[in-house]
Amino acid sequence: MSKTAGGFQSCLHYMFDYETPKTLVIPNLWVGFVFRFIQFLVVLYVVGYVCVVQKAYQETDSVVSSVTTKVKGFAFTNTSGTDPRFWDVADYVIPSQGDNSFFVLTNMVITPHQTQSRCPELPNPSSTCVDDCDCIEGYNNPRGNGIQTGLCENYSTTVQTCEVISWCPLEIDTTLPEHALLAAAENFTVLIKNSITYPKFNFHKRNILSHVNSSYLKRCEFNRATDPDCPIFRLKHIVSEAGEEFEDMAVKGGIVGIMIDWSCDLDWWARKCYPKYSFRRLDSKHPVNNVAPGYNFRFAKYYKTQDGEETRTLIKAYGIRFNVVVFGTAGKFGIVPTIVNLGAALSFLSLVPMVADWFLLTCVRKRDLYSRHKVTYLNEDAVTESVSMGTSYGTQ
């Protein structure tokens, strides 16, 4: 046999050697225990976590929903500095029709009888002046209140500021009441109507459940312990479940989330699907540096006086915005996710012998013996020799 032929032959060997697993039974209690224990862990994971907890055999769909809200309640304010006033929904809910959220006015700075005219700017370092030369005609400071006319006027007996063209008199928003004007808003109630759909499963439901009748709806109020199905919420209750005091929050305003969780198991053996309510404050309450807290915005009401002049009442409104957040996923048995997860479980089981082998070859006292027997390279020429070696080994 030539040298090249020998090389060729060994190359053929590498390509066409057939490897077949040979079963080696090891009667070692430890290895057997480790193998069974890991198998048990895998089965526990598949049954306990994947099937029971994660419900991985289910197809899922996420919720599609619509929300409408209706606030009810009255208030009467009679504080010094303002006229006595009666408030109803049309006054304190802004805008009257919102999208998944509603705003309840609780405190405000009112600037009545503003007209388009000229008045001295509020005093601040960039607006104070000594004479007309300090004011530039036409200069417009975006953080100021109007366009300068170039004149320096008396703001008070001691301070002079540049005159501006603006809605005058200017708003002085440092006069915000320390106790919320509409503190009575804590007793207002809101009816939340929420319809949901899981389109994939053609499942529809609303948060006014089928056993709720109209006479119950007229008198009930949501309470986790006694009336968990009532869709009417007292604003104070919402804010206190969010971990806040209504009186405190009403002064500077804020944003509160009303979360409705519609997570459902739609399989016939577990067909219960009820909304679960929870509440939390959504704007940050105590930032490290509490600048610009709360929530406010401005709006105005416009009038014409008898002689045709336009005037307006400017309102800087502070209040609580309630955002209704609807979320959830529904699951229902599906054959595809079941097969996929079954496959994953089986492939995990097939990894177990590898771990047991590793344990066998590294941690067991007789590992040398086991590793000698575990891998055998069959050399046909020396087969008799190896067999005799095996027997002599056995008799040792």
Ligand X SMILES: *[C@@H]1O[C@H](CO)[C@@H](O)[C@H](O)[C@H]1NC(C)=O
- Which residues 183-202 are close enough to bind ligand X by CB under 6 A? 183-184, 186-187
Residue 296, annotated as binding a ligand = yes
- Using Cβ positions, the residue closest to ligand X within the complex turns out to be 187
Shortest reach from residue 311's CB to ligand X, in Å = 33
> CB neighbours (10 Å) of residue 238?
23
Question: E strands of 73-146, at which residues?
Answer: 75-77, 85-87, 101-120
Nearer to ligand X, 132 or 227 (CB): 227
Q: Is 232 in the site for ligand X (CB under 6 A)?
A: no
Cα–Cα nearest to 253, from 186, 343, 318: 318
Shortest reach from residue 184's CB to ligand X, in Å = 4
Nearer to ligand X, 151 or 183 (CB): 183
Shortest reach from residue 105's CB to ligand X, in Å = 15
| CA–CA gap between residue 165 and residue 153 (Å, rounded) | 13
Residue 200, annotated as binding a ligand = no
Residue 8, annotated as binding a ligand = no
> CB neighbours (10 Å) of residue 229?
15
196 in Cβ contact with 256 (< 8 Å): no
Number of residues that bind ligand X (CB under 6 A): 4
Q: Which stretch binds ligand X (CB under 6 A): 97-105, 179-187, 316-324, 337-345?
A: 179-187
Residue 365, annotated as binding a ligand = no
What φ, ψ does residue 331 adopt, rounded to 5°? -125, 145
> Residue 21: which residues within 8 A CB-CB, separation 6 or more?
none
Most distant pair of Cα atoms in the chain: their distance = 126
Nearer to ligand X, 189 or 263 (CB): 189
DSSP string, 194-259: EEEEEGGGTEEEESS-TT--HHHHHH---BTTTBTT--EEEHHHHHHHTT--HHHHHHH-EEEEEE
Q: Which stretch binds ligand X (CB under 6 A): 32-40, 180-188, 284-292, 377-385?
A: 180-188
Shortest reach from residue 187's CB to ligand X, in Å = 4
Residue 71, annotated as binding a ligand = yes
Bind-site residues for ATP: 70-72, 189, 296-298, 316
Chain residues binding ligand X by CB under 6 A are 183-184, 186-187
